[in-house]
Amino acid sequence: MSALADLKLVAAKKPTHLSPVVIRRNKVIDRLHEQLEMAKARQEGRTYAPTRMRSVKNAETGVKTTIETTKRLKQWWWVTDNGKVCVSLRYGAKIIEIVKGKTAVELASEKELVATLEILKQAVESGELDAQIEAVAGTARNGFRK
């Protein structure tokens, strides 16, 4: 018996490019994943410091080298005056309006943070916030035009 007989073979072609909606959705999902990891680390009492590769030019020799540095992250949640925790959703530096006139989710305590971020991530993955992300991306894109 052939080893390939156990596999399900299909005629599939990898897409050459993704639609802009999927690209924007994936950007938000990636950032939400970072926020989730940061929130989980905070609850466990440790720090979350993702790394990235960066090219640096040596001032003396002029040679470019690649070094690994920690990525700077800003948390999307904050504590309000009344002790509640609020979480906003961002696309770049812009805050996404989750529903008309509402830009944040209010939580009773920081213990609910991970679950809320998971719910927001599921909403973005399912495409529920595509129109809001498109609106924010459009305003960011217009800032680059002359």
User: At which residue do the structure tokens 């812009």 appear?
Assistant: 94
C-alpha span between 96 and 133 (Å, rounded): 6
H/E stretch holding 122: helix 113-125
Q: Say what the pLDDT of residue 1 is.
A: 53
Cα separations in angstroms, 1 against 4, 18, 65, 80, 94: 9, 39, 52, 66, 58
Is there a contact between 76 and 87 (Cβ–Cβ < 8 Å)?
Answer: yes
C-alpha span between 146 and 143 (Å, rounded): 8
- Of 27, 24, 26, 28, the closest CA to residue 134 belongs to 24
Q: Say what the pLDDT of residue 139 is.
A: 76
- Amino acid, single-letter form, for residue 96: I
Q: Say what the pLDDT of residue 141 is.
A: 67
- Of 21, 70, 99, the closest CA to residue 29 belongs to 21
pTM of the model: 0.79
pLDDT tens for the chain, 146 residues long, are: 578 888 888 998 888 888 889 999 999 999 999 999 999 999 999 999 999 999 999 888 889 999 999 999 999 999 999 999 999 999 988 999 999 999 999 999 989 999 999 999 999 999 999 999 999 988 766 767 66
C-alpha span between 114 and 126 (Å, rounded): 18
C-alpha span between 63 and 25 (Å, rounded): 37
